[in-house]
Amino acid sequence: MAKRFVSLWFRHLVTDWLTLKKPELKDVALVLVAPARNRVIVTAANLLAESQGVTRGMAAADAKAIVPQLQVLDELPGRETWLMNALGEWCIRYTPLVAIDLPDGLIMDVSGCAHLWGTERDYLKEIITRLRSKGYDVRGAMADTAGAAWAVARFGRVKPIIPANGQMDALLPLPPAALRLDPVVLDRLQKLGFYSIRHFIGMGRSVLRRRFGETFLLRIDQALGNQDEPLHLLHPIAPYEERLPCLEPVRTATAIEIAIRTLLGRLCHRLAGEAMGVRTAVLKGYRVDGQVIQAAIGTNSASHQAEHLFKLFELKIPTLEPALGIELFTLEGTKVEQVEPGQEALWSPEGCGLGSQALAGLLDRLANKLGAGAICRYLPQEHYWPERSVKVADSLKEKPATAWRTDRPRPSLLLPRPERVEVTALIPDYPPMLFIYRNKVHQVKKADGPERIEREWWLEQGEHRDYYQVEDEHGQRYWLFRSGHYSGDHSDQWFIHGFFA
Amino acid sequence: MLQARKDLINQLQKNILQWQGFVVPPAGASRGIGLGPVEHAFPNGVFPTGAIHEMLCPTPEQAAATGGLMAGLLASLMQQGGVCLWISLSRKLFPPSLHAFGVVPDRVIFVDVQCEKDLLWAMEEGLKCEGLAAVIAEVREISFAQSRRLQLAVESSRVTGFLLRNDPRKPGANTCVARWRVTSLPSEPGEGVPGIGFPRWQVDLLRVRNGNPGSWKLEWAEGRFMPVAEAAAGTVEITLPGRRAG
């Protein structure tokens, strides 16, 4: 799925918050100051102060000279981080993946979230209006990459929502600062006369790398989506992994069993709490000699039953070679799905149906030893051609889409491919009088047929088949067919395709 | 005196059967498996479920006939909505044919294994799983020890197992409760009707533990097994129950 990111920029974060706290500050020009290098400089200014010419980084004395009635407060150290965390937590309502972009921004991975609020436009509008109505001066943008969203939120002039794959066009008119570059590099770009991204984006990579360094290229790639950007999420998704270091290297099967039980116990406890279950899991053992040994299991349906999963791992224990000893075990649920909670039956039917836990457990054990392809179940398919009349079911829960046909006799055993037989047929289009199969002559005593089955021309080309059900002198029943029409000479192609009960 | 001895022997025989796991079904609970007269060959006159049956089918024709009888038995075993497992090395069974014998083919799970060792392991696992209607395995040979493992598995889970022996060599001793052989018999279509009639088999019970081996002729008609009357082997009119009604 295509990724979408929203970047939010709180332009006057701390002053907005102060104004919220003290409403009397609403209509005064407000700056926060902090001492730096023997001077007191402005670290934050509200909108009113900025509109009168006070900027961040200016000496407090200068600011006071420009705006005589300026309200000057001391900076609150650590307040920004605290505020950003609080706002990030608040934004979890819009997407679970919120990352803080210090000092004054949030980056949210909103892939697949926007449609819940209608369109992307409604979604972004909802976020921005909610935050603005609280009193924060916020700007936001949405794009395919975090870098482009960041750039448009801060420097964009046209529209905040960049369509999919439109980040290049959106970035071209923006100044180089939109690429989150170091001040040193920005200075150099300024000196060289690169005032917007379009001036240098088309240059050769080697040229850019030599002059501006590797980070410069990385930032460009991240903004354009050529490289992924890791986000430091507020609530990172913990992988389903458990570790068990051993006090001393272990090398017996019993010890490995205990290790697996312990790890499964922990993992399943967590999974059960989240109503999740394992589909595939990998056990890794780090050996003393530096090698890593592993065993993988898979299940038919998500499960967090430690006992069942242990049984699957138990089959794999003989394949684990501890050699000099294993000192660390890790167990990871590589594929985890939601568990479908089974409904308690009021009365249990006699025997277990296709949906029962016991059967799923049995099939998991079989599949882990014999391979997943070894187990199959068949469903009817609407084709007359015998080889195509059944298909393999995808899952245990799949129901037949059509009814099983019973109107035509079908043999108990079907040969995987028809075998040639020699026949003697006296009259065209009549069943044969006798046939020779595997050097044995069978006299046909009774026969039914023919049943003509055509090939489906939209699937394959070839001759049709005329099927006869014949019974020989011992009462053994066969399914024979002639491929194509009777042609008079001995070139008739007769085959045996099955045995009737 | 004689009567007392007879009663004593009867009592002892009943005890032995009970110790061996043949429980007398409570009156009214026995449904029968639909085999008709064949069932009387078994102890207490009940087809033993929760046991292993062995069926000899060295040729494909016999395998097909056995498949028909098997499917008929499965139909009554799976009546309660159970699932059965069919384990084989090289499978030729055509699932749609099961429907003619009353088995829903999509309730049969096929397991294809690569070697005989895996096959017996899979069968044992299947037999241990309580609630399965039946486990069918196509095996070439089975040793006494292996069959004893299977017997132990079914004793606790009460699953019925079927071994289809497709090896033409002499079957050795094992713990199976019965040894069957099914061969095809010429069918009898109605008088004046051309073509082939209902499938008809010669069912031989070669060995029955605590029972009486014998030989029967059965026909699958109208969704159940019908015994074929011996006297009517040549004549047609009374073999078909539908015709008897007129």
Nearest CA in chain A to B158: A351
Alpha carbon of A113: minimum distance to chain B alpha carbons (Å): 40
- Shortest CA distance to B82 belongs to which of B118, B112, B108? B108
pLDDT given for residue B204 in this prediction: 92
Assign residue A275 a region (left: φ > 0; alpha: ψ between -120 and 50; beta: otherwise): left
DSSP letter for B171, please. Answer: P
pLDDT of A169 > 80? The answer is: yes
Lowest mean pLDDT segment, chosen from A165-179, A180-194, A224-238, B133-147 = A224-238
User: DSSP readout, A359-418?
Assistant: HHHHHHHHHHHH-GGGEEEEEE-S-SSGGGSEEE-SSTTPPPSSPPP-SS---SEEEEEE
ipTM computed for the complex:
0.84
Residue A73 — pLDDT band, cuts 50, 70, 90? Answer: confident
CB atoms A380 and B118 under 8 Å: no
pLDDT given for residue A478 in this prediction: 93
CA torsion angle for A24, A27, A28, A34 (degrees, to 10)?
70
Cβ atoms A266, A242 nearer than 8 A: yes
What mean pLDDT, rounded, does chain B reach? 83
pLDDT of A344 > 60? The answer is: no
Host H or E run for residue A220: helix A214-224
Alpha carbon of A350: minimum distance to chain B alpha carbons (Å): 6
Q: Which residues have C-beta within 8 Å of that of residue A37, sequence separation ≥ 6? A: none
pLDDT of A381 > 50? The answer is: yes
Alpha carbon of A462: minimum distance to chain B alpha carbons (Å): 23
Residue B230 — pLDDT band, cuts 50, 70, 90? Answer: low
Residue type, A218: L
Cβ atoms A477, B64 nearer than 8 A: yes
pLDDT of B241 > 70? The answer is: no
> pLDDT digit string (tens) for B69-93?
999 999 988 887 788 999 999 888 9
pLDDT of A237 > 80? The answer is: no
CB atoms B184 and A380 under 8 Å: no
pLDDT of A42 > 50? The answer is: yes
Q: Which residues pair with A99 in a beta bridge?
A: A107, A233
pLDDT of A496 > 90? The answer is: yes
pLDDT given for residue A48 in this prediction: 81
Host H or E run for residue A182: none
Could you give the CA distance from residue B226 to residue B36 in angstroms, rounded to a whole number?
Answer: 7
Residue B234 — pLDDT band, cuts 50, 70, 90? Answer: very low
Please give the backbone phi and psi of residue A346, each rounded to the nearest 5 degrees, phi first.
Answer: -65, -45
Nearest CA in chain B to A381: B96
Residue B25 — pLDDT band, cuts 50, 70, 90? Answer: low
User: DSSP readout, A224-291?
Assistant: HTSS-----BSS----SEEEEEEEEEE-SHHHHHHHHHHHHHHHHHHHHHTTEEEEEEEEEEEETTS-
pLDDT of B238 > 50? The answer is: no
Q: Rg of the Cα trace of chain A?
A: 37
Count of CA atoms in the C-beta half-sphere (13 A) of A120: 19
A vs B: CB pairs below 8 A: 183
**Please, what are the domains in chain A?**
81-224 (no CATH), 241-340+354-368 (3.30.1490.100), 376-407 (no CATH), 413-499 (no CATH)
pLDDT of B232 > 60? The answer is: no
Partners of residue A350 in chain B, C-beta under 8 Å: 80-82
**Residue range A69-96: average pLDDT?**
84
pLDDT given for residue A352 in this prediction: 63
pLDDT of B246 > 50? The answer is: no
- Shortest CA distance to B106 belongs to which of B83, B123, B88, B129? B83
> pLDDT digit string (tens) for A391-434?
888 877 788 888 888 888 899 999 989 999 988 887 877 888 88
Please give the share of chain A, as a percent, with pLDDT higher than 70. 96
pLDDT of B171 > 50? The answer is: yes
Three state DSSP letters for B10-53: HHHHHHHHHHCCCCCCCCCCCCCCCCHHHHHHCHHHCCCCCCEE
CB atoms A413 and B60 under 8 Å: yes
pLDDT given for residue A1 in this prediction: 63
CB atoms B129 and A445 under 8 Å: no
pLDDT given for residue B64 in this prediction: 92
B129 touches chain A (CB under 8 A): yes
Alpha carbon of A425: minimum distance to chain B alpha carbons (Å): 17
Interface test with A, best of B109, B117, B198 (most A CBs within 10 A): B109
> What is the CATH superfamily name and number for domain B54-187+197-240?
P-loop containing nucleotide triphosphate hydrolases (3.40.50.300)
pLDDT of A227 > 70? The answer is: yes
Which of A362, A377, A469 is nearest residue B125 as measured by Cβ atoms?
Answer: A362
Q: Where are the domains of chain B?
A: 54-187+197-240
Alpha carbon of A252: minimum distance to chain B alpha carbons (Å): 24
Q: Identify the residue whose tokens are 């992994």.
A: A241
Partners of residue B164 in chain A, C-beta under 8 Å: none
Which B residues 50-109 touch A at CB under 8 Å? 60-61, 63-65, 67-69, 71, 78, 80-83, 85, 92-97, 99-101, 104-109
Which of A376, A399, A501 is nearest residue B65 as measured by Cβ atoms?
Answer: A501
pLDDT of A151 > 80? The answer is: yes
pLDDT given for residue A54 in this prediction: 83
> pLDDT digit string (tens) for B26-50?
554 456 778 888 888 888 888 888 8
- Shortest CA distance to A357 belongs to which of A301, A405, A427, A317? A301
Alpha carbon of A480: minimum distance to chain B alpha carbons (Å): 14
pLDDT given for residue B111 in this prediction: 92
Residue type, A161: I
